């Protein structure tokens, strides 16, 4: 708009300093209104973007944390699957049944070799044992710092007083015993370094169905818990593994772990650190929520459900509680905690990006708004002066509106005296704004000059080509013998303007919508002929542009 009015100002009108001051004052008022509107739009858009960005980030983060817990839960389940499958395999071992039926010592030796082979292949079993119904160990394989050895008979112990034997030997065929996860105790003391342990067992029966003891695996889960501790690259949360009382089995701070095993840590629990969150976590088996302490994602692992895959007779009631811990049912909780600091860090980064981007965008739009305000102010001031501009258009050199009307009136008077036809072609360019927007206003000026030259070169020297303003042109054809000649000229102009026009910035492709009126068929006055041609031109626009239409909606060409 600014460049258009700049062109129109090239009419030679001399401006006084007072006029410049008036333009500036008007532009400032318009600019103030535009600046407020821009600021409101930027703030509104920024707020919408901020909330959208935060919601998208939180949604993505929730998905990552939930997926991380699902993968860790699956790893635990698969580890329990393997250990339980091994216990079931040992309970149905042919050598075991033979030994139980006959007391064959060779079969017992074969069992011992099988235990050693299994322990060496798995490398995560601290002990594999066979105990009789009195709790006496008959076979025992130990893991001694990575070496797997069978314990001599004179060193085998009686375990009838230990909870794991008493609870396991009470089970029926096919039932599986799973102990709570705790630290291994040797000679009444917690093993150093701590060795987290699970005990998995099942009763064994001879071929006649008589219960004759149990097989028991001490599963060292230290490696499993270390893998659980590792954070996924895309995860933001601290991962915790909790027992049903809220004690940490795995924590980012190792000093919080195994509080129920150490007297000085009994009060260090997730439940006491996050009491409100703990209440919500216990209310469901899995879920996600935000609190003042961050984003919490949790899921429940019930070991009994895992063992159910291997025995249809597994019941929650068969899973014992650890000594001194009477929680029931027995389960683990996997919890991810994303701290408020981690959430606020992303929020702060988003706000910073919005502020910087908003400032840059405001400066750029304010620059454009100032030029628009100046253009509007100039237009308001020079609107009346443009009507009185010189007879010729300073950009194209063609007759302007004033001279056009003078020549039209003269041509109509001559046509009336000579009794011949006069043709008026009203031309509006298609695609001119696109050239202005893509190639710039200087290219638009050059294009208008080229269009003027094309129109002038397409008609006779005695005819008139005028520019009414903007991208509107008009042609007066004098002494036309028939309407068909007007049709041919219209088609010729449409074709000429449709071809690519070379410019300094590169070729431009436009078109033209043309309306045609003929004297005296469509009217005898200038006003009627112009109105008819203008109406026909708009019909060309509606038909799809690049079209010439005869007045009274009679179409003469459709290029």
Which SS3 state, helix, strand or coil, does residue 494 take? helix
Determine the average pLDDT of the residues in 297-303: 89
Per-residue confidence (pLDDT) for residue 192, from 0 to 100: 82
pLDDT score of 78 more than 80: yes
How far are the Cα atoms of 8, 11, 16 from residue 19, in angstroms, in the given order?
16, 16, 5
Per-residue confidence (pLDDT) for residue 545, from 0 to 100: 82
pLDDT score of 319 more than 80: no
pLDDT score of 5 more than 50: no
Label residue 488 by pLDDT band (50, 70, 90): confident
Percentage of the chain lying above the pLDDT 90 cut: 52
pLDDT score of 180 more than 60: yes
Per-residue confidence (pLDDT) for residue 11, from 0 to 100: 38
Per-residue confidence (pLDDT) for residue 329, from 0 to 100: 56
Label residue 18 by pLDDT band (50, 70, 90): low
Label residue 386 by pLDDT band (50, 70, 90): low
**Both tokens assigned to 495:** 């074709």
Q: Is the peptide bond before 30 cis (omega within 30 degrees of 0)?
A: no
Per-residue confidence (pLDDT) for residue 317, from 0 to 100: 38
Q: Lowest-pLDDT range, 6-10, 171-175, 421-425, 454-458?
A: 6-10
Give residue-wise pLDDT tens across range 356-372.
Answer: 988 898 888 888 888 88
Determine the average pLDDT of the residues in 262-284: 91
Label residue 211 by pLDDT band (50, 70, 90): very high
Q: Choose the catalytic residue: 471, 485, 534, 552.
A: 471
Q: Lowest-pLDDT range, 33-37, 41-45, 122-126, 185-189?
A: 185-189
Per-residue confidence (pLDDT) for residue 471, from 0 to 100: 93
Determine the average pLDDT of the residues in 149-174: 92
Residue whose structure tokens are 């998905």:
63
The answer to whether 471 is a known catalytic residue is: yes
* Residue 225 CB neighbours (<10 A): 16
Per-residue confidence (pLDDT) for residue 314, from 0 to 100: 37
Determine the average pLDDT of the residues in 373-396: 73
Per-residue confidence (pLDDT) for residue 247, from 0 to 100: 93
How far are the Cα atoms of 4, 396, 479, 499, 501 from residue 450, in angstroms, in the given order?
17, 8, 26, 12, 8
pLDDT score of 487 more than 70: yes
What is the DSSP annotation of 116-152? HHHHHHH--EEEEEEEETTSBEEEEEEEETTEEEEPP
Element housing 548 (H / E): strand 547-550
pLDDT score of 122 more than 50: yes
Give residue-wise pLDDT tens across range 50-72.
Answer: 888 888 988 999 999 999 999 99
Q: What are phi and psi of 298, to 5 degrees?
A: -145, 155
Per-residue confidence (pLDDT) for residue 538, from 0 to 100: 92
Strand-strand pairing, 472-480 and 421-430: antiparallel
């Amino acid at each position: 708009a600014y460049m258009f009015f700049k062109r129109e100002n090239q009419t030679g009108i001399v401006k006084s300093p007072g006029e410049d001051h008036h333009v500036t004052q008007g532009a400032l008022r318009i600019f103030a209104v535009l600046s407020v509107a821009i600021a409101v739009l930027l703030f509104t858009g920024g707020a919408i973007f901020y909330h959208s960005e935060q919601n998208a980030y939180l949604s993505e983060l929730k998905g990552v944390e939930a997926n991380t817990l699902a993968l860790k839960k699956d790893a635990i389940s698969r580890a329990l699957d393997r250990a339980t499958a091994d216990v079931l395999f040992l309970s149905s071992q042919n050598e075991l049944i033979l030994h139980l039926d006959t007391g064959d010592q060779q079969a017992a030796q074969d069992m011992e070799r099988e235990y050693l082979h299994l322990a060496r292949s798995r490398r995560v079993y601290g002990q594999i044992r066979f105990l009789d119904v009195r709790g006496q160990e008959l076979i025992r394989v130990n893991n001694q710092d990575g070496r797997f050895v069978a314990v001599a008979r004179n060193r085998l112990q009686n375990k009838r007083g230990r909870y794991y034997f008493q609870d396991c030997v009470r089970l029926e065929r096919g039932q599986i015993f799973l102990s709570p996860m705790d630290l291994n105790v040797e000679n009444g003391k917690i093993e150093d370094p701590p060795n987290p342990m699970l005990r998995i067992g099942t009763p064994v029966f001879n071929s006649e169905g008589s219960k004759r003891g149990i097989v028991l695996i001490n599963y060292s889960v230290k490696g499993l818990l270390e893998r659980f501790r590792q954070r996924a690259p895309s995860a933001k949360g601290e991962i915790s593994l909790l027992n049903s009382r809220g004690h940490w089995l795995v924590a980012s701070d190792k000093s919080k772990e195994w509080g129920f095993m150490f007297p000085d840590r009994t009060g260090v629990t997730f439940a006491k650190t996050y009491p409100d969150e703990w209440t919500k976590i216990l209310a469901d088996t899995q879920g996600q929520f935000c609190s003042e302490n961050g984003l919490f994602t949790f899921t429940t692992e019930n070991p009994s459900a895992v063992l159910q895959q291997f025995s249809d007779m597994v019941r929650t009631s068969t899973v014992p509680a650890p000594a001194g811990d009477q929680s029931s049912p027995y389960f683990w909780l996997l919890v991810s905690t994303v701290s408020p600091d981690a959430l606020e860090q992303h929020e702060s980064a988003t706000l910073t990006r919005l502020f910087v981007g908003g400032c840059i965008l405001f400066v750029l739009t304010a620059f454009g708004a100032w030029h628009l305000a100046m253009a509007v102010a100039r237009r308001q001031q020079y609107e009346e002066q443009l009507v009185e501009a010189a007879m010729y258009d300073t950009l194209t050199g063609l007759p302007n509106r004033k001279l056009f009307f003078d020549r039209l009136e003269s041509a109509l008077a001559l046509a009336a005296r000579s009794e011949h036809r006069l043709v008026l072609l009203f031309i509006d360019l298609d695609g001119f704004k696109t050239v202005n927007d893509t190639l710039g206003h200087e290219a638009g000026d050059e294009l208008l000059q080229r269009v003027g030259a094309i129109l002038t070169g397409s008609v006779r020297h005695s005819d008139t080509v005028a520019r009414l303003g903007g991208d509107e042109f008009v042609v007066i054809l004098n002494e036309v013998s028939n309407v068909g000649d007007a049709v041919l000229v219209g088609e010729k102009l449409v074709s000429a303007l449709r071809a690519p026009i070379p410019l300094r910035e590169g070729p431009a492709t436009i078109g033209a919508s043309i309306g045609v009126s003929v004297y005296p068929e469509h009217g005898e006055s200038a006003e009627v002929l112009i109105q008819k041609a203008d109406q026909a031109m708009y019909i060309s626009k509606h038909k799809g542009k690049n079209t010439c239409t005869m007045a009274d909606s009679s179409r003469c060409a459709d290029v």
